[in-house]
């Protein structure tokens, strides 16, 4: 299972939110490149980079930070947040993203997402399936929908999606454990490369996610709060 540390960006700084609430913003580092280099130095190869400014404003904002990390490290970066147009996507890939995560656009403009899958290939496009009470949420989690997370994933699997990041919003930033039950249920009906995100609090959570068959696990707040060390993750 891949271990994917996360950096969330607001105004070019590393932050974490709780349950996606922007009012809970906590700044952990002024320089995301320094954090990315620490991740690389620990022997990790992947980074989940989220443009929270972009998610809120519906267009890419922090692409210069992406470019800096991609240029100065060997990390394979998946980038998400505010990718709503062909131009946004081109900027993300031209700035060094190895993959992008598409969430809101998959709900609001599915034809555009299908075009991206065809144009860039399914290896480069990750479906963002962020959910609360097993219903999809969009726009940086500011809007809820009535779309069932299982139906959502299955719909896009049929159209070529191979990778899915699923965040249980109720767990995100809480450090109270990953949503193992939800991911187990998803994997039972959706044979997809599932990347778990949200709630990871210790190495036991990592082992549980590996046991149920997740392809990857995103770790954020647990790193910044000292619950899990980068060395532990690098040695996994």
CATH number for the domain including 54? 3.20.20.70
In whole angstroms, give the CA distance from residue 9 to residue 42. Answer: 21
H helix intervals, the chain: 32-41, 52-57, 63-72, 86-94, 104-108, 110-120, 149-157, 180-189, 203-212, 221-224, 230-235
Distance set, CA 103 to CA 69, 173, 207, 211 (Å): 23, 19, 27, 26
**Catalytic amino acids?**
8, 130
* Per-residue 3-state assignment (H helix, E strand, C coil) for 197-222: ECCCCCHHHHHHHHHHCCCEEEECHH
Q: Which long-range contacts (CB under 8 A, 24 or more apart) does 114-121 make?
A: 114/159, 114/160, 116/89, 117/159, 117/160, 117/161, 118/160, 120/89, 120/93
> Residue 78 is part of which domain span?
2-235
- A 10 A CB-CB count for 224 gives 21
Whole-structure pTM value: 0.92
Greatest extent of the chain over all pairs of C-alpha atoms, in Å = 42
**Phi, psi angle pair for 131, to nearest 5°:** -140, 150
Per-residue pLDDT of the chain (236 residues; tens, 9 = 90+): 999 999 999 999 998 877 667 888 888 877 999 999 999 999 999 999 999 999 888 899 999 999 999 999 999 999 999 899 999 999 999 999 999 999 889 999 999 999 999 999 999 999 999 888 888 876 545 556 679 999 999 999 999 999 999 988 776 665 678 999 999 999 999 999 999 998 899 999 999 999 999 999 999 989 999 999 999 999 99
Counted domains in the chain = 1
Cα 141-220-95 angle, rounded to 5 deg: 75
Nearest to 132 by CA among 105, 170, 164: 170
């Amino acid at each position: 299972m891949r271990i994917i540390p996360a950096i969330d960006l607001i105004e070019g700084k590393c932050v974490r939110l709780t349950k996606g609430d922007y009012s809970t913003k906590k700044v952990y580092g002024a320089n995301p490149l320094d954090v990315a280099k620490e991740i690389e130095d620990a022997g990790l190869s992947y980074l989940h980079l989220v443009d929270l400014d972009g998610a809120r404003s519906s267009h890419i904002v922090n692409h210069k930070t992406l470019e800096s990390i991609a240029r100065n490290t060997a990390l394979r970066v998946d980038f998400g947040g505010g990718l709503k147009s062909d131009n946004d996507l081109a900027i993300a890939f031209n700035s060094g993203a190895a993959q992008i995560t598409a969430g809101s656009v998959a709900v609001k403009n599915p034809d555009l997402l299908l075009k991206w899958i065809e144009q860039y290939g399914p290896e480069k496009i990750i479906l963002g399936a962020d959910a609360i009470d097993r219903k999809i949420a969009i726009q940086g989690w500011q809007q809820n929908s009535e779309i069932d997370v299982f139906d959502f994933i299955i719909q896009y699997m049929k159209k070529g999606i191979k990778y899915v990041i699923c965040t249980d919003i109720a767990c995100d930033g809480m450090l109270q454990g990953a949503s193992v039950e939800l991911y187990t249920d998803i994997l039972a009906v959706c044979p997809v490369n599932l990347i778990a995100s949200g709630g990871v609090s210790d190495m036991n959570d990592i082992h549980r996610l590996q046991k149920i068959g997740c392809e990857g696990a995103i770790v954020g707040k647990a790193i910044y709060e000292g619950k899990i060390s980068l060395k532990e993750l690098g040695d996994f």
